[in-house]
Amino acid sequence: MREFDWSVIGRSGDLLMAGTRLTVGLFLAALVLATALGLILALMRLSPVRPLRWFAGTYIWIMRGIPVFVTLLFAFFVARDLPGFGWLTPIWAGVIGLGIDGAAYKAEIIRAGIMAVDHGQHEASEALGMTKAHYMRRIIIPQSIRVIVPTYMSNSILLLKATSVAVGIGLVELTGITRQLSNSTFRPIELFTAAAFIYLVLTTVLVLLQEFLERRFALKT
Amino acid sequence: MDWQLVWDSFPLIWKGAQFTITLTAWSLLFGTAGALVLALMRLSSVKLLRWFAAGFGWLFRGIPLLILLFFAFFALPDLNVGPVDGVLLEPFQAAVLALSFWTAAYQAEVIRSGIIAVDPGQAEASEALGMTKAHYMRKIIIPQGLRIMVPPYIGNSMTLLKQTSLTTLVTVPEMTLLTQRLFSNDFQFQERIAALAILYLALTTVFVVAQQVMERSFRLKV
């Protein structure tokens, strides 16, 4: 008969916090990369130039069709051997793997948001003599934000949880440190419960942020 | 890149596909059954059931799948509550357990939103005709909700198939684990990982095609 010993969490507190910091860091860096690449891919898919549309469509099909774990393996084992990628440390491989995978989802979300803006807005902007680059930036994209926010945020919650997959390429983020601690202390129940709790706190913060942003961008009627 | 080696990798990696596919199938079966129960609980008039189902969804959608897998594999053998004294599962069983809970939480949302999307007039009309709730849910509401559920249901199932790759980390010998074994022997990272990606792409494309076929066959004929 084994008793629970929750004091192990207090004794592992510093390491769990270090793991949490890496999880949050990976998440934020991957989110920036995914959003920037996703915006570029979305604009390519909406471009009148066929090769651009075709390239973005293929990229999205591939990235959405393979597991993020495989993308991470690619970033970790393959990309570092490519010329000019000598700087690719495991952490950067994690950021890039998560970022290029996330970009495919962000691209579809941004594209759907842009397409949801009434077509009359394009026509009106053109009638006022604005260039396409100008009215996309000033008229269309700002209006699409309202449509983009809910799906963008729930997708970002998935990205936060996907950072745990980085344990598969040896990163010691929250899941990785928990596994190591559980192996050395033989307290898997207590430690994995603590990790689950930390993830729940992080994802719940994002849910609250989503609700705040949805209210902030709601149409005032 | 040596394409001959990519080609030669296919049969070796494909041996793991039986695990990828059976993991997906079993988890989808158990997960969907659980999801249906959870969705009906969310829509129940009993507050306790609604709370339980909402709490389940919040918990299992808020924790990464990998934590669930590690919990099922590393922590359950230590579980000691009441008459339960350690639940020791094979890697495959632990994987199906974790994936089923995860699937149930996500598909419950799909089923629930499909049901609430059906015009409430349908429920009222059924009641006016003297049908019981159990009867009209089964014969009137759920069949109409199916049309709305199918696309996200298949999308989630495709995500499930991709997520089975994580069971590598609890030593289920599926495609990703076999690939890692291959490239840790011969260091042919590019070719082995490319072959793995192509196999996953082939499997997930089946879902995309299934989705399009189903959407067409469920379209309203007007």
**A152-193 pLDDT, tens digit each:** 999 999 999 999 999 999 999 999 999 999 989 888 899 999
**Crossing angle between the packed helical segments B17-42 and B175-186, to the nearest 10 degrees:** 140
Residue B70 to residue A64, Cβ atoms within 8 A: no
Chain B hits for A165, CB-CB cut-off 8 Å, are 64, 66, 166
Non-local CB neighbours of B123 within 8 Å, separated by 6+ positions? B136, B140, B141
pLDDT band at A7 (very low <50, low <70, confident <90, very high): confident
A1 and B75 within 8 Å at the Cβ level: the answer is no
| Domain, as residue range, for A100 | 28-171
- Structural domains in chain A (count): 1
- Which of A70, A165, A186 has the CB atom closest to B66's CB atom? A165
Judge whether A70 lies within some domain: yes
A209 in contact with B, Cβ within 8 Å: no
Question: Which of A164, A167, A180, A185 has the most B C-beta neighbours within 10 Å, making it the best mutation to test the interface with B?
Answer: A164
Q: What domain range is B72 assigned to?
A: 25-149
What average pLDDT does range B102-118 have in this prediction?
93
Cβ <8 Å between A77 and B189: yes
Return the biggest CA–CA distance within chain B: 71
Q: Please report which confidence band the pLDDT of residue A198 belongs to, taking 50, 70 and 90 as the band edges.
A: very high
CATH assignment of the domain containing B83? 1.10.3720.10
CB contact under 8 A, B65 and A161: yes
| A62 contact B CB<8A | yes
Provide the domain count of chain B: 1
Of A69, A175, A186, the CB nearest to B176: A69
Nearest Cα neighbor of A179 from A68, A30, A27, A15 is A15
Placement of tokens 């596909």 in the chain: B17
Helix A13-45 and helix A141-162, axial crossing angle in degrees, nearest 10? 140
CATH number of residue A103's parent domain: 1.10.3720.10
Give the closest of B70, B80, B197 to A70, CB-based: B197
User: Could you tell me which residues come within 8 angstroms of residue A126 by beta carbon, excluding any fewer than 6 positions away?
Assistant: A135
Distance CA B144, CA B142 (A): 5
The answer to whether residue B5 sits within a structural domain is no
Whole-angstrom distance, CA of residue B26 vs CA of residue B16? 16
Rounded to whole angstroms, the Cα distance separating B85 from B150 reads 41
Q: What whole-number distance in Å separates Cα of residue B52 and Cα of residue B42?
A: 8
CB contact under 8 A, B75 and A188: yes
Q: What would the pLDDT profile of B37-68 be if each residue is shown by its tens digit?
A: 999 999 899 999 999 999 999 999 999 999 99
Burial class (CB in 10 A: 0-12, 13-18, 19+), A101: buried
In a domain, B63, yes or no: yes
Contact yes or no for A180/A81 (Cβ under 8 A): no
Query: Which one-letter DSSP state was computed for residue B87?
Result: -
Look at residue B50 in the predicted model and tell me its pLDDT.
95
Answer yes or no: is A87 within a domain: yes
Contact A175 B200 (CB under 8 A): no
**Residues near B52 by Cβ (< 8 Å), separated by ≥ 6?**
B41
What whole-number percentage of chain B has pLDDT above 70? 99
Contacts of B139 (CB under 8 A, 6+ apart): B131
| pTM reported for the whole predicted model | 0.89
The reply to whether B202 falls in a domain is no
pLDDT confidence tier of residue A197, bands split at 50, 70 and 90? very high
- Whether A74 sits inside 8 A of B193 (CB atoms) is yes
Mutation target vs A (from B71, B110, B178; most A CBs, 10 A cutoff): B71
Is residue A75 exposed (0-12), middle (13-18) or buried (19+ Cβ within 10 Å)? buried
> Cβ A165–B204 below 8 Å, yes or no?
no
Set of chain B residues whose Cβ sits within 8 Å of the Cβ of A193: 75
User: Is pLDDT above 80 for B82?
Assistant: no
Q: What is the mean pLDDT of residues B23-28?
A: 96
Indicate whether A1 pLDDT > 60. Answer: no
Residue A14 covered by a domain: no
* B155 domain residue, yes or no: no
Amino acid at the residue A96: I
A125-151 pLDDT per residue, tens: 999 999 988 998 899 988 899 889 999
Record: contact A164-B78, CB cut-off 8 A: no
Residue A204 lies in a domain: no
CB < 8 Å to A79, chain B = none
Structural domain contains residue A151: yes
**Secondary structure (3-state) at B81:** strand
Residue B221 confidence class, pLDDT cut points 50, 70, 90: low
Judge: A70–B64 Cβ closer than 8 Å, yes or no. Answer: no
Q: Which ranges of A66-140 does DSSP label H, i.e. alpha helix?
A: 68-73, 90-115, 119-127, 132-135
Residues of chain A with C-beta less than 8 angstroms from the C-beta of B204: 64-66
> Does the distance separating the beta carbons of B85 and A70 come in below 8 Å?
no
Q: What is the mean pLDDT of chain A?
A: 92
Q: Which of A70, A78, A188 sits opposite B200 (nearest CB)?
A: A70
Collapsing DSSP states into helix, strand and coil, what is residue B28? helix
Q: Is the pLDDT of residue B80 over 90?
A: no
Query: Are the beta carbons of A66 and B162 closer than 8 angstroms?
Result: yes
pLDDT for position B160:
96
Confidence at residue A176, expressed as pLDDT on a 0 to 100 scale: 94
Measured between beta carbons, the chain A residues lying within 8 angstroms of B75 are: 182, 188-189, 192-193
Q: Report if residue A193 sits inside a domain.
A: no
